[in-house]
Amino acid sequence: MKTQMLYAREGIFTEQMQIVAKKEGVSQDFLLENLACGKIIIPANINHKSLDPNGIGFGLKTKVNVNLGVSNDCVDYSEEMKKVDLAHKFGIEAIMDLSNYGKTSNFRDELIQKSKAMIGTVPVYDAVSFLEKDLKQISAKDFLDVVYHHAKGGVDFMTIHAGINSRASRVFKEGKKRLTNIVSRGGSVLYAWMAMKDAENPFFEYYDDLLEICLKYDVTLSLGDALRPGSIYDASDAAQIAELIELSLLTKRAWNAGVQVMIEGPGHMIIDEIEPNMKLEKKICDGAPFYVLGPLVTDIAAGYDHISSAIGGAVAAAAGADILCYVTPAEHLRLPNLNDVRDGIVATKIAAHSGDLAKLPKERKIDNEMSKARQDIDWEKMFSLAIDGEKAKKMFNERRPEELNSCSMCGKMCAMNTMNQVLKGESVNLR
């Protein structure tokens, strides 16, 4: 089986590539060139038949990922499927199933069968439940078996924490003491496994076997940032950078095998460190697409972390991040409900589009259309262009003036209406 990367290297313009080129308004040559060298990816497992393909990377719009899935304390697959429906409603390009309790394969199979968005997983989350073993009893081969199970099932991309090897772990242990240690769930599990077994990271040690699985089903590797900062204090430290260097080496090995790759990035970071970090990843990893969680620009926004994340995400996208993982208001507090998911989606879509306005000038067209609709006081047009037009229309109608076309904020003193009248030579009555 050939991956989208290998097809591109042979000059074969696949059906998936045709769809992406049309969506993005880019040429065949542009897409083939950047797919071939790894600057663009199209995660598209051969067994994900319902997929509506999307590209991630250089010269393309910033994409958004939504996390969902059950935990030990909240096992309601019907609610998780409602979150999937909500993601589809807002045109979300990627969904990650982060379920970490029970037999998750039935939900994942239903998700892959239903979802037109690309599906991602973190196989190490599923290992303990799927294998029904304690962590210390799990072998390196066991971890790879779970990867194979996910790949065969149709998962488009997988977070694999292969960069937290013995070298990067040593930097973490011997470097500056962190306030939040390792906040990556997958990274902490692997670090614990390595410590208990006194062994190398299984995904690093058997990386070539992992690549064979990805090659067979065209699974994109999302090389996980196990040592990402979980607080602004820990951002840009030696451990984070050491792992990034390891990920750059693993990226080249994947590219040599024809496997698509994106790099996962920081979660918490002071705002002025975001742009340098985006540029550093692009430099070290030769332009591989960058997938960031947030970043959250402050640690004290509990209950409003979707706002903290959107601020950082906008800066990251403008500086070169290619896909943003959403954060909900419930981050750090509990499993998100449907309202949390909606708020997280909208905030992250705002961040992604804001970044695109800076790096892709053609994306300004819709904002100009919105401005024209406002000047024309065309409410239905405004609602159709808004990221969340449903909420905008509801808010407008809650206090809509009975006789005026303006909103209840300005009433007869609506500046748009005043200027429309005066420029037409009409008299203006504000009483």
User: pTM for the full model?
Assistant: 0.95
Alpha-carbon distance of 196 to 193, in angstroms, equals 5
CA 23 from centroid of its chain's CA atoms: 18
Note the pLDDT of residue 73. Answer: 67
pLDDT number for residue 128: 76
- What gap in Å lies between CA 255 and CA 41, rounded to an integer? 11
Alpha carbon distance 383, 150 (integer Å) = 40
Please answer whether residues 321 and 290 qualify as being in contact, where contact means their C-beta atoms are separated by less than 8 angstroms.
Answer: yes
What does the pLDDT read at residue 408? 81
Give the gyration radius of the chain's Cα atoms. Answer: 23
Q: How far is CA 260 from CA 100, 133, 181, 277, in A?
A: 26, 31, 30, 22
Q: Give me the pLDDT at residue 427, please.
A: 84
Domains and CATH numbers, the chain: 44-359 (3.20.20.540), 364-423 (no CATH)
Looking at residue 226, what is its pLDDT? 97
Tell me the average confidence (pLDDT) per consecutive run of 10 residues in the chain, 431 residues long. 95 98 98 98 98 98 93 76 96 92 82 96 85 88 95 98 98 95 95 96 98 98 97 97 98 98 96 98 98 97 98 98 98 94 98 98 97 94 97 92 77 85 84 70
Instruction: Tell me what pLDDT residue 102 has.
Output: 65
Give me the residue label for tokens 């319902």.
50
